[in-house]
Amino acid sequence: MPRLSAIRPKTNAVHFLCERRVVLRADDRVRTGDLNLGKVPRYQLRYVREEGKSIAGEAIAPKWDVNDYRYLVNSSKSAPVFWMNGRLATGLSQVSHHPSSLDDGGFWAISTTFEGAFRAFKFDHVIESIFPATPWQEIEGRWSSSLSEREYVAYVKKVQEHIAHGWVYQVNACREISIDVEVEDLRGLFSKILEGNPAPWASYLEAPGINIASASPELFLKREGARIRTSPIKGTAPVGTVDFGVKDRAENVMIVDLMRNDLGQICKSGSVTVPRLLSTESHPGLVHLVSDIEGELKDGTSWSEIFTLLSPPGSISGAPKSSAVAVIKENEGKRGPYCGALGWVQGDSCELSVAIRIFYKDDKLRFGTGAGITWASVACDEWEETQLKARRLVSLAGGQL
């Protein structure tokens, strides 16, 4: 499916689909949240609805009846919502914890954890839309890190010991920063991300038990029919870097080989190719080294097989994947949705990002950052890479690293 061009809502009074139906009365008035409109009869909200083209099929397009409809209002703060690349999904109707649910052909927002937990949220209404702008109050205070600089450097050296003994070739070593914050949701932070750190796979998910604002630059999986593509990132440097060093190039090739092997498990023999290798991409505040691996799915491949055999993404685990995951488990806490997959699936199409550069909220606001470790790594440089990846986005959220 081609990328959708966003359209602008006609009024700021309408943002998200409320998850309940309402029997309207002529004297039942509601505040719209728009200073120019003030309070209006509920039935008139159908005249200030966000104009958008349904992209989920006529059968599940929003209905705008006087006596029975789902309406959009600024005050629906708790309404589940998903947005990615111009797709605004609302009207949550089902939650699943198994990929087999995706076989129904509906539009599902997906979040997996690095540890393998799967969550899918089915939305009944999907339109082309920009993400509705929301204000954000910057955070105050200092972020705390799960690993200090000294501890992270020790982690890097431990990985290199495993490499010396032939246990692994590369490990993506991560740490988590977090801060106590009292915010209802991350819509305002995501608005700041879109403005100050636009990313090709930026997305927002707010649903029961989950709230993620992502600035991911990395594609985990794009599917169009039987064709699939993954675009791992390995190699990060400050803006202005012209040529990546031997370490970054070797690391990228390692992960390309790993992903070729992963795709080979679900693709037809001989169909897996590498049309782009070691390409430099510019992103806000840094540059990345990116490659593409493509293939054609075997007939009858299910979503369950795809998620089982490809997870977790190779670029944020390491090579060999099983050994790298064991090293990560030994040295880190649970990553949760960080380093999982995040995006959408509908029928035989999908756009799934690697869930890096994400903020997610539970009892705290959390952000993960990491670096790929090889034998050629310099431990203090790898720490600085984790700082580089966090610095710009944390500046948008507020607080001090």
- Cβ neighbors of 294 (< 8 A, separation 6 or more) are 227, 228, 229, 263, 272, 273, 274, 275
**What pLDDT was estimated at residue 60?**
33
Alpha carbon distance 206, 119 (integer Å) = 12
Per the CATH hierarchy, to which homologous superfamily does domain 139-400 belong? Anthranilate synthase (3.60.120.10)
Pairing label, strands 139-142, 398-400: parallel
Phi, psi of 383 (to 5 degrees): -60, -45
- Whole-angstrom CA distances from 195 to 146, 190, 203 are 29, 9, 13
Sign of CA dihedral 139, 140, 142, 146: negative
pLDDT tens for each residue of the chain, 401 residues long: 444 333 333 333 333 333 333 333 333 444 433 333 334 333 333 333 333 344 444 333 333 232 222 333 233 567 899 999 999 999 999 999 999 999 999 999 999 999 999 999 999 999 999 998 999 999 999 999 999 999 999 999 999 999 999 999 999 999 999 999 989 999 999 999 999 999 999 999 999 999 999 999 999 999 999 999 999 999 988 888 888 999 999 999 999 999 999 999 999 999 999 999 999 999 988 999 999 999 999 999 999 999 999 999 999 999 999 999 999 999 999 999 999 999 999 999 999 999 999 999 999 999 999 999 999 999 999 999 999 999 999 999 999 99
**What pLDDT was estimated at residue 52?**
39
**What pLDDT was estimated at residue 383?**
98
**What pLDDT was estimated at residue 76?**
54
**What pLDDT was estimated at residue 242?**
81
**Domain residue limits, the chain:** 1-77, 139-400
Alpha carbon distance 120, 109 (integer Å) = 6
Cβ atoms < 10 Å from Cβ of 19: 14
**What pLDDT was estimated at residue 119?**
98
Radius of gyration of the chain (CA): 22
